[in-house]
């Protein structure tokens, strides 16, 4: 805090010195609290960044899996449509589409 000589000198000045001493003590306490808060929020932000990276990696993996499944389903649907078309042609009818297929 304040050195004892400076505090004694301020108190000898009377009430004005006491006010100055209180203000100095308050400012030093605020500086200490500010450093503590700043360090707390730095650590909190680091933890949040780490958590967001984990979440992003999980979402990337999930998205990739869903895309793979969608591609496999599209390929399966294409093979099924080809088999249906072949069966219809083999019985001598015109193939009819029941739904739109992606090219």
Given a cut of 80, whether residue 94 has pLDDT beyond it is no
Average pLDDT, the chain: 86
Question: Is the residue at 101 inside a domain?
Answer: no
pLDDT digit string, tens, across residues 5-41? 777 777 787 877 778 878 888 898 999 999 999 999 9
Task: Give the Cα separation of 88 and 100 in Å (integer).
Answer: 17
Question: Is the residue at 86 inside a domain?
Answer: yes
Say what the pLDDT of residue 74 is. Answer: 94
* Cα atoms in the 13 Å half-sphere on the side-chain side of 32: 7
Helices (H), 13-96: 15-90
* Number of independent structural domains in the chain: 1
pTM of the model: 0.50
Question: Is the residue at 98 inside a domain?
Answer: no
Question: Is the residue at 99 inside a domain?
Answer: no
Question: Is the residue at 74 inside a domain?
Answer: yes
Say what the pLDDT of residue 3 is. Answer: 75
Question: Is the residue at 70 inside a domain?
Answer: yes
Tell me the residue range of the domain where 82 lies.
4-90
Question: Is the residue at 35 inside a domain?
Answer: yes
Task: Give the Cα separation of 86 and 96 in Å (integer).
Answer: 11
């Amino acid at each position: 805090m304040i050195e004892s000589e400076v505090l004694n000198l301020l108190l000898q000045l009377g009430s004005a010195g006491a006010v100055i001493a209180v203000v100095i003590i308050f400012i030093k306490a605020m500086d200490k609290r500010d450093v503590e808060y700043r360090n707390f929020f730095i650590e909190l932000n680091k933890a949040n960044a780490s958590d967001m990276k984990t979440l992003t990696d999980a979402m990337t993996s999930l998205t990739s899996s869903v895309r793979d499944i969608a591609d496999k389903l599209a390929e399966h649907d294409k093979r099924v449509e080809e088999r249906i078309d072949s069966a219809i042609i083999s019985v001598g009818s015109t193939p009819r589409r029941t739904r739109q297929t992606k090219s």
